[in-house]
Amino acid sequence: SFSGPALKDMFADDFKIGAAVNPPTIRSQEQLLAYHFNSITAENEMKFESVHPQEEVYTFDQADGLAAFARKHGLAMRGHTLVWHNQTSDWLFTDGAGASVSKELLLARLKSHIDTVVGRYRGQIYAWDVVNEVIADEGPELLRPSKWLEIAGPEFIAKAFEYAHEADPQALLFYNDYNESHPQKRDKIYTLLKSLLDQGVLVHGVGLQAHWNLYDPALDDIRAAIEKYASLGLQLQLTELDMSLFRFDDKRTDLTSPPPELLELQAERYDGVFRLLREYRQVISSVTFWGAADDYTWLDNFPVRGRKNWPFLFDEQHRPKPAFERLAALS
Ligand code: XIL
């Protein structure tokens, strides 16, 4: 059982505090989630391939279970995600004979998907990641190559926002991406958002995934990204925060417990990040971690399978880590 300061209360005047969840973690982390968090996101269960495996088949059992968990504990819920190049069913892009569909058919299927999924959670999901990760990481190209782009051209992005708004006029609509604080990619994300806004597309916010580590990105780059996105008049949310103990390309798989000196560095890093985020509380409305405690994180298998990671504020037994204590001392 939990006592002491709750994370969500420490930042009650600043932003919501969220966690990504899945069917096992709402069981194993139920008390932790209910005590420390006031928002959740489905880690995988609302993605295209999870809810819409065949054209005529929708599978909402797992997503509905997470939505029921949110209602049970009075948690806000973010929706993730409607348009992405990953975890999206192949049938969407092909006809019965396996040939590529036309642009018109792809957009019609997209509209029907968004109507159904966004419509189902109208009134419960207050913010949707409408479009996820369409900006190219490297090179001069603005948009990442994908089936979406190949078949529909860049217009699928604006269309997705239009359809989402029609399906739930109350929902806040987000563009979400990673490496969002790296200067080059930041500028490209800005360019996309600016052009959407200039075309009159209704975008409310930008999601900074914030898959960060002890060394990267620099606080100054995070600050510059926040300032740049906020200059468009958009609200910001951190949507997938984790603080890996390792650089992305560090291949070590030998550690079975977190070295105390790294946990101290992590505490220092979280302290710096949350001090910075708090400065921008007027524009940052939510900070969601991509998990809740170190017993489960996607980073245990990404990008290196079997490399255990300890990215959160709570340990494998759901006890506060040094990073949590540092944040508690902030308020
Ligand atoms: C990840 C999940 O955490 C994993 O379980 C899954 O295998 C792959 O996707 N960016 C996103 C998230 O927008 O949807 C991803 O989630 C992590 C990166």
pLDDT digits over 287-314, tens only?
999 999 999 999 999 999 989 999 999 9
Residue 44 Cα to ligand 1 middle (Å): 7
Question: Is 35 close to ligand 1, i.e. is its CB under 6 Å away?
Answer: no
Residue 199 Cα to ligand 1 middle (Å): 30
Question: Is 44 close to ligand 1, i.e. is its CB under 6 Å away?
Answer: yes
Question: Is 239 close to ligand 1, i.e. is its CB under 6 Å away?
Answer: no
pLDDT average, residue stretch 228-234: 98
Residue 1 clears pLDDT 80, i.e. is over it: no
The tens digit of pLDDT for each residue in 67-76 reads 999 999 999 9
Residue 5 clears pLDDT 90, i.e. is over it: yes
Question: Is 85 close to ligand 1, i.e. is its CB under 6 Å away?
Answer: no
The neighbour count for residue 200, using CB atoms within 10 Å, is: 7
Q: Please, what is the angle between helix 155-167 and helix 183-198, to 10°?
A: 60
- What Rg do the C-alpha atoms of the chain give, in angstroms? 19
% of the chain with per-residue pLDDT over 90: 97
pLDDT average, residue stretch 266-286: 98
Q: What long-range pairs does 55-59 form, CB within 8 A, spacing at least 24?
A: 55/91, 55/109, 58/116, 58/117
The tens digit of pLDDT for each residue in 169-186 reads 999 999 999 999 999 999
Q: Which of 85, 302, 305 to mutate to test the pocket of ligand 1 (most atoms within 8 A of CB)?
A: 302
The tens digit of pLDDT for each residue in 100-136 reads 999 999 999 999 999 999 999 999 999 999 999 999 9
- Cβ atoms of 185 and 135 within 8 Å: the answer is yes
Close Cβ partners of 274 (under 8 Å, ≥ 6 residues apart) = 11, 327, 330
Residue 96: pLDDT band (50, 70, 90) is confident
Question: Is 209 close to ligand 1, i.e. is its CB under 6 Å away?
Answer: yes
Close Cβ partners of 300 (under 8 Å, ≥ 6 residues apart) = 306, 307, 308, 309
The tens digit of pLDDT for each residue in 147-159 reads 999 999 999 999 9
Residue 160 clears pLDDT 80, i.e. is over it: yes
Question: Tokens 């780059």 belong to which residue?
Answer: 221
Please report, for residues 84, 142, 241, 273, 286, the alpha-carbon distance to residue 270 in angstroms, rounded to integers and kept in the order given: 29, 31, 11, 5, 16
Predicted ipTM of the assembly: 0.99
pTM score, whole prediction: 0.98
Q: Which of 207, 233, 241, 212 is nearest to 79 (CA)?
A: 207
Q: Determine which helix (DSSP H) or strand (DSSP E) holds 232, and give its type and residue range.
A: none
pLDDT given for residue 331 in this prediction: 76
- Cβ atoms of 185 and 221 within 8 Å: the answer is no
Mean pLDDT of all residues belonging to the chain: 97
Residue 43 Cα to ligand 1 middle (Å): 7
Q: Which of 166, 39, 72 is nearest to 115 (CA)?
A: 166
240 is an active site residue: yes
Residue 48 Cα to ligand 1 middle (Å): 13
Q: How far apart are CA 188 and CA 192, in angstroms?
A: 6
pLDDT given for residue 72 in this prediction: 98
Within 168-241, where are the H helices?
Answer: 183-198, 219-230
Q: Which of 43, 45, 180, 240 is catalytic?
A: 240
Q: Which of 133, 138, 141, 155 is catalytic?
A: 133
162 is an active site residue: no
